[in-house]
Amino acid sequence: MDNYAVIFDMDGVIAHTNPYHTEAFKQFFDKYDVTYTMGEFADHMYGKHNDYIMRYFFKRPLDDAEVARLAEEKESLFRDIYAKHVVPIAGLLPFLDRLKSAGYHIGVATSAPRANLDFIIDKLSIRTYMGAVLSSEDVTAHKPDPAIYLKSAAMLDVEPHNCVVFEDSYSGVSAAINAGATVVGVLTSHTVDELPPCKRYIHDYREIGVNDINQLLAKKNA
């Protein structure tokens, strides 16, 4: 499988972080008297880059330096809240073992900042599986733009159409589709109806195996 890759988003895909991001945003927005609804969190927080999130919720002009400061404050709060709760999505670690044994290239590509990515993959001890580790700082255009998945495929030396991407958000699925990859929707944050059409859907990695990945790629390249 030297010419094929499996690429994972992080939040909601490697670990079920979104409830902790939600709590961090609640505390953060309450501090700054920013109004929000849970519906807005679903539509304007999950899978989005902090540049977009801060400008949407604060509803006033923010320069880049202020966005960066606010984002780091919120992400630091998230890491403090989540530190005692870091666990992988069920079945992830055995699935990574099987993918590696089958010869797949493996990567992670997230809209989250590098500090969060390093924090989570090192807590889970999965860095050694990854041939490409990309965060928001590694691209200038963010999901749904395909840049991060195109860059991840290039780093893994695999054509995008030979990649299977696991995603859980509308913007993330869109980014992977826009890159030309085959997408498996992970239903941790959204329902099937809330995502663009994926080739398969799972709730966790006990529901999928290497043979399923082989079949998805065989259909794509038939």
Radius of gyration of the chain (CA): 17
Phi, psi for 165 (deg, rounded to 5): -115, 135
Candidate CATH numbers 3.40.50.150, 3.40.50.1000, 3.90.550.10, 3.10.20.310; the one for domain 5-16+87-220:
3.40.50.1000
Q: What is the pLDDT of residues 199-214, one digit of tens each?
A: 999 999 999 999 999 9
| Entry pTM | 0.90
Domain residue spans in the chain? 5-16+87-220, 18-84
CA atoms within 13 A of residue 37's CA, in its CB half-sphere: 3
Q: What is the pLDDT of residues 4-52, one digit of tens each?
A: 999 999 999 999 998 999 999 999 999 999 999 988 988 888 878 899 9
- Give residue 122's pLDDT band: very low, low, confident or very high (50, 70, 90): very high
Q: What pLDDT score does 49 carry?
A: 86
Q: What pLDDT score does 48 carry?
A: 82
Least confident of 56-65, 87-96, 121-130: 56-65
E strand map for 61-191: 105-109, 132-134, 163-167, 182-186
Architecture field, domain 18-84: Orthogonal Bundle (1.10)
CA distance 15 to 11: 6
- Give 17's contacts (C-beta < 8 A, 6+ positions apart): 10, 11, 78, 82, 120
Strand ranges of the sheet holding 105-109, from the earlier edge strand across to the other edge:
132-134, 105-109, 5-8, 163-167, 182-186, 200-202
